[in-house]
Amino acid sequence: MATQLEPDIHADEDAFRTEVQQFLAANFPDELKNKGNALAGVDGPTDETPAQKAWREAVGERGWGTPTWPKQYGGGGLTKAQAKIIDQEFAKAGAYNPIGGMGVMMFGPTLLEYGSEEQKMEHIPPICRGEIRWCQGYSEPNAGSDLANLQTFAEDKGDHYIVNGQKTWTSGGQWADKCFAIVRTDKSDKHRGISFMLIDMDAPGVEVRPITMISGTSPFCETFFDNVKVPKENLVGEEGQGWTIGKRLLQHERTNISGGGRLASMMGQSLGDIAKKYGETDAAGELADKVLRDKIADFEIRWNSFLLTARRAVEESKAQGGVSEISSVLKKLGTKLSQERSELLIEIRGLQGLGWEGEEFTDGELEAVRGWLFGKATTIYGGSTEIQNNIIAKRVLGMLDHQ
């Protein structure tokens, strides 16, 4: 579809593009070129080099890490088109977005929708500046897929709550400053007895115990609350509204897990090119292993149709306003495809693609192995694939239980 743009919009966009380029030239340190954002994820402590710090502050100050969030809370206050220009120019310069993590991916958007004015003023700006790390206190030993079965209890003590209970699989819990949690405020009603509240991770009575994962790292924890005092101002929405707010946050999480950015950034490396590097080619310059070649093409075709689906969903959801149940479709598809991709990488590399440690493997090969193992979690967390299928069948397709 040909789009007729008004000439003055063009001019505006060109001016903005120049502004971004100038900003990068003035602020982006060469030594960080083509590096990833080590701090945006949930998988590491917060040691920053001076260059990383300066870059985070420069982007944070302008709100360009969260470009479309409102300016009054520290966001960029920019249009989607401008946000895209930032993406493009950063990518061209090999610059990462230093603002990220659960605050950006899921908590911020949810608080913008449900938080009070005071809460937004308090919590959104530090997220935009990348100063505060958030973790997600949802799952419990007996509340995984059946999240609403959560038992962590917040007892009303007038101007504050006293929270007792245990969360588990808390990603980044050992590095987080704060936790957005769903807890029980009423034992008589499974769903309406849940409230959404914000807990300081350094409050007395909070204890975290890291759990080692099959990939060898310990990016998540058991989190214990023992008589933790939480002021009433940290309740988001009404008491009992936690399930609605909590589910909304999950839609943001799913949209993020399924990918936009993460998947798109992997697009650059074609599996076919990697396979040519590791395997033999025939006289025509094609992969000699035809079975593998067929598998790669089969995968890449479906990968492309996924990216098209994700793009279409974004466009359609713009019309409807925000994330929706299509996030379940994207989450289920995107996670399955990234797992398949990791498995294909192993096939392509053979035993060279299964290294655990040692100098005989490149960093990229070793990272891919750990990524392959960690990636098994993507079809489990954020609502497992089976749970997404239930949501699609019941809520989207109206296939209700027989009772």
Partner 1 sequence: MAVLNEEQEMLRDMARDWATNESPVTEFRKVRANGEPHAYNKDAYATMAEMGWAGVIIPEDHGGSDFGFLSAGLVVEELGKTLTASPLIATTIAASAIVLGGSDEQKAKWLPKLASGETVATLAVDESAHHDPSAIEASVSGGKLTGKKAFVHEAHGADLFVVAAKDGLYLVEKGDGVSLTTRKLTDQRSHADVNFDGAAADKLEGGGDSLLDDVLDRARVLTAAEMLGMAQQVFDTTLDYLKQRVQFNQVLATFQALQHRMADLFADLAQMRSAVEAGLQAVDGGFGVARAATIAKAEANRVLHTISNQGIQLHGGIGMTDEYDVGFYLKRARVLESAWGSSSYLKDRYAKLASY
Residues that bind ligand FAD (CB under 6 A): 135-139, 144-145, 169-171, 220, 377, 380-381, 384, 386-387, 390
Q: Given the complex with ligand FAD, which of 86 and 257 has the nearer CB atom?
A: 257
Q: Given the complex with ligand FAD, which of 190 and 293 has the nearer CB atom?
A: 190
How does 149-188 read in b/e, with b if 16+ C-beta sit within 10 Å?
ebebbbeeeeebbbbbbbbbbbbbbbbbebbbbbbbbbee
- The site partner of 78 among partner 1, ligand FAD, none (C-beta below 5 to 8 Å per kind) is none
The span from the CA of 265 to the CA of 90, in Å, is 12
Using rule CB under 8 A, residue 213 touches partner 1:
yes
Using rule CB under 8 A, residue 81 touches partner 1:
no
The span from the CA of 40 to the CA of 55, in Å, is 13
Is 280 catalytic? The answer is: no
Binder to partner 1 among 23, 90, 138, 381 (CB under 8 A)? Answer: 381
Least separation in angstroms between residue 168's CB and partner 1 is 7
- The site partner of 54 among partner 1, ligand FAD, none (C-beta below 5 to 8 Å per kind) is none
Which of 85, 33, 29 minimizes the C-alpha distance to 57?
A: 29
The span from the CA of 196 to the CA of 138, in Å, is 10
Using rule CB under 8 A, residue 93 touches partner 1:
no
The span from the CA of 326 to the CA of 334, in Å, is 12
The span from the CA of 233 to the CA of 383, in Å, is 29
Using rule CB under 8 A, residue 196 touches partner 1:
no
- The site partner of 171 among partner 1, ligand FAD, none (C-beta below 5 to 8 Å per kind) is ligand FAD
Which residue in the list 57, 118, 253, 357 is annotated as catalytic?
Answer: 253
Least separation in angstroms between residue 255's CB and partner 1 is 21
Q: Given the complex with partner 1, which of 212 and 265 has the nearer CB atom?
A: 212
Kindly report the number of other CB atoms within 10 A of residue 258's CB atom. 29
Least separation in angstroms between residue 289's CB and partner 1 is 6
Least separation in angstroms between residue 301's CB and ligand FAD is 27
Binder to partner 1 among 17, 192, 229, 376 (CB under 8 A)? Answer: 376
Site for partner 1 in 326-355 (CB under 8 A): 339, 343, 346-347, 349-355
The span from the CA of 300 to the CA of 305, in Å, is 9
Q: For residue 301, what are the CA distances in angstroms to 70, 262, 277, 297?
A: 38, 18, 21, 6
Least separation in angstroms between residue 151's CB and partner 1 is 13
Least separation in angstroms between residue 268's CB and ligand FAD is 25
Using rule CB under 8 A, residue 139 touches partner 1:
yes
Using rule CB under 8 A, residue 385 touches partner 1:
yes
Binder to partner 1 among 289, 326, 330, 334 (CB under 8 A)? Answer: 289
Amino acid in position 133: R
The span from the CA of 277 to the CA of 269, in Å, is 12
CA torsion sign for 367, 145, 243, 203 is: negative
Are 147 and 138 spatial neighbours (Cβ–Cβ below 8 Å)? Answer: yes
Rg (CA), the chain: 23
- The site partner of 278 among ligand FAD, partner 1, none (C-beta below 5 to 8 Å per kind) is partner 1
Which of 193, 190, 115 minimizes the C-alpha distance to 156?
A: 193
- The site partner of 136 among ligand FAD, partner 1, none (C-beta below 5 to 8 Å per kind) is ligand FAD
Using rule CB under 8 A, residue 377 touches partner 1:
yes
> Around 72, how many Cα atoms within 13 Å sit in the side-chain half-sphere?
6
- 51 CB contacts (<8 Å, ≥6 apart)? 29, 31, 32
Furthest-apart CA atoms within the chain: distance in Å? 79
- The site partner of 346 among ligand FAD, partner 1, none (C-beta below 5 to 8 Å per kind) is partner 1
Residues noted as catalytic: 253
Task: Summarize as ranges the residues that interact with partner 1 (CB under 8 A).
Answer: 139, 142, 144-146, 149, 168-169, 211-214, 216, 278-279, 289-292, 295, 339, 343, 346-347, 349-358, 360, 369, 373, 376-377, 379-381, 384-386, 389-390
